[in-house]
Structure 1
Amino acid sequence: MKTARYFLRHHPEYADFECRFDVVGFTERTGRSGQGEPLQSEWLQGAFLAPAW
């Protein structure tokens, strides 16, 4: 949120647009051998929207 505020302060031409926030999550699974498998990623596009402030 701080980064979005900083950006909007320095780019007032975007003040009338909604801000879309994406979220990227990572999950590590442990196999039967106890070894961690490669991380699995999930990208939630448009996880939440906020009006430009």
Structure 2
Amino acid sequence: MLSRRKGDKVERYVEKYLTQQKLRLVERNFSSRYGEIDLIMEDGDTLVFIEVRFRANTNHGSGAETVDYRKQQKIIKTAQFFLQQQKKYQQLNCRFDVVSVTLGHKSLSADWLKNAFQLSGW
């Protein structure tokens, strides 16, 4: 339970950070049988599917490095499912971002990787 609360806190931090960057929240923690997407936001005319990763430190790499091909495929399938359910977003461009959050000196810092991976044909 403790890690879920920590995850929620980190996701809220990222949501606030991205809102300050002018993105608008569509949905948080969207789940399907394929997986979960942490945040779905609009960035102008683009729908952004965002994976949030947390690392207490970067000794073993960044959180973004843990979003491997298998995880990318789960996110892509979940995004496709979301778009099937929410037809009003089907006309928007889509993008997959990863935000890697690191704890440093008792404060969080975010590294936002726009267009971190792609679905061929999008």
Is residue 22–residue 46 contact of structure 1 (8 Å, CA) maintained in 2? yes
Residues 1:39 and 2:108 are matched in the alignment: yes
Say which structure is richer in helix: 2
Q: Percent identity?
A: 35
Q: What 5-or-longer segments of structure 2 have no aligned partner?
A: 1-74
TM-score (norm 2): 0.29
Structure whose CA Rg is larger? 1
Is residue 18–residue 49 contact of structure 1 (8 Å, CA) maintained in 2? no
CA distance in 1, matches of 2:110, 2:93: 26
Is residue 25–residue 41 contact of structure 1 (8 Å, CA) maintained in 2? yes
TM-score (norm 1): 0.56
Q: What 5-or-longer segments of structure 1 have no aligned partner?
A: 30-35
Q: How many residues align?
A: 44
| Matched AA of 1:38 | S
Deviations for 1:16-52, whole angstroms, at most 9, x for unmatched residues?
x8742000110012xxxxxx42111111000011146
Partner of 1:32: none
In structure 2, the residue corresponding to 1:9 is in which secondary structure? helix
CA displacement at 1:5 relative to structure 2: 2.0
User: What's the C-alpha RMSD, in Å, of the aligned pairs?
Assistant: 2.7
**Relative contact order higher in (CA < 8 Å, ≥ 6 apart):** 1
Runs of at least 4 residues off by over 6 Å: none
CA displacement at 1:8 relative to structure 2: 2.5
